[in-house]
Amino acid sequence: MRFMPESRPYHHGDLRSALLAAAERTLREKGVAALSLRELAREVGVSHAAPGRHFKDKQALLNALALSGYDRLARALDAANDPALPFEPRFTAVARAYLAFAIDNAELLELMYARKHGPDASAQEQMVAAIERTVGSLEQTFADAQKRGELIEDDPQDLTLFTGAVLHGLAAFTANGTLAPETALAGVDKLVHRLLHGIKPR
């Protein structure tokens, strides 16, 4: 089931959250091109100038949406990541959490990746920190497994990039309708097993 930001009347003191929730609904339903601070103000019931107290322009709004997405993704990955588990079930749980987030938040995830290379230099430090919280935690998972002799000695960053590409490819197949979401999620265990053990006969 796709997560949808709660639709509720604007309450004084919570305008920023109300604007972000409305922006995410618009992103899901109409795409990034349809986002407008003036339209969002109309939707939440404030003056057209009110959003300017929180977002100086549309780019600032997009950056804030992306940062919110990274925060939610990081919390989802953290909740799934159990350092007490052996690597395969540990990474399988993390992979499933990533895929579930990607399926439920396809439009937001696309925006998150696009904002990584956005032109707003003032937001890049925040974006780098947000990305580090997600990708960095995955790299640490690989590094922990290497220390325990569960993985080959290789650059954890390279391992993270390779496995992340495979997972995101699966998410993309789901987003474009090649795979049903339930099929993709059901196949995570096999996917991780194949990644770890290969497909060449022994």
CATH at 14: 1.10.10
Band of residue 24 on the pLDDT scale cut at 50, 70, 90: very high
- At 137 the pLDDT is 86
Question: Is residue 60, in this structure, part of any structural domain at all?
Answer: no
Q: What percent of the chain has pLDDT over 70?
A: 90
pLDDT at residue 92 is higher than 70: yes
pLDDT in tens, 139-159: 999 999 999 999 999 998 899
Which of 31, 55, 79 represents a domain boundary (last residue)?
55
Domain count, the chain: 2
Question: Is residue 179, in this structure, part of any structural domain at all?
Answer: yes
**Same domain, yes or no: 69 and 152:** yes
Place of tokens 């990305």: 131
The pTM of this model reads 0.84
pLDDT at residue 50 is higher than 50: yes
**Same domain, yes or no: 141 and 185:** yes
Band of residue 11 on the pLDDT scale cut at 50, 70, 90: very low
Give the pLDDT mean for 82-89: 95
**Same domain, yes or no: 84 and 175:** yes
Which of 29, 55, 81 represents a domain boundary (last residue)?
55
Band of residue 10 on the pLDDT scale cut at 50, 70, 90: very low
Which domain range does residue 133 map to?
Answer: 65-197
CATH code of the domain containing 173? 1.10.357.10
**Same domain, yes or no: 133 and 98:** yes
**Same domain, yes or no: 10 and 37:** yes
pLDDT in tens, 176-187: 999 999 999 999
**Same domain, yes or no: 176 and 99:** yes
**Same domain, yes or no: 45 and 70:** no
**Same domain, yes or no: 87 and 174:** yes
**Same domain, yes or no: 145 and 51:** no
**Same domain, yes or no: 85 and 5:** no
Question: Is residue 111, in this structure, part of any structural domain at all?
Answer: yes
Mean pLDDT of the chain: 87
Please state the three-class secondary structure of the chain as a single string.
CCCCCCCCCCCCCCHHHHHHHHHHHHHHHHCHHHCCHHHHHHHHCCCCCHHHHCCCCHHHHHHHHHHHHHHHHHHHHHHHCCCCCCHHHHHHHHHHHHHHHHHHCHHHHHHHHHHCCCCCHHHHHHHHHHHHHHHHHHHHHHHHHHHCCCCCCCCHHHHHHHHHHHHHHHHHHHHCCCCCHHHHHHCHHHHHHHHHHCCCCC
Rounded-to-integer distance, Cα 201 and Cα 155, Å = 26
pLDDT in tens, 98-137: 999 999 999 999 999 887 655 565 677 888 888 888 988 8
- At 120 the pLDDT is 62
Which of 34, 55, 76 represents a domain boundary (last residue)?
55
**Same domain, yes or no: 39 and 99:** no
Q: What percent of the chain has pLDDT over 90?
A: 54
Tell me, rounded to whole angstroms, the distance of Cα 67 from its chain centroid. 9
Band of residue 40 on the pLDDT scale cut at 50, 70, 90: confident
Long-range contacts of 52-60 (CB under 8 A, 24+ apart): 53/15, 54/15, 54/16, 54/19, 55/19, 59/118, 59/119, 59/120, 60/120, 60/123
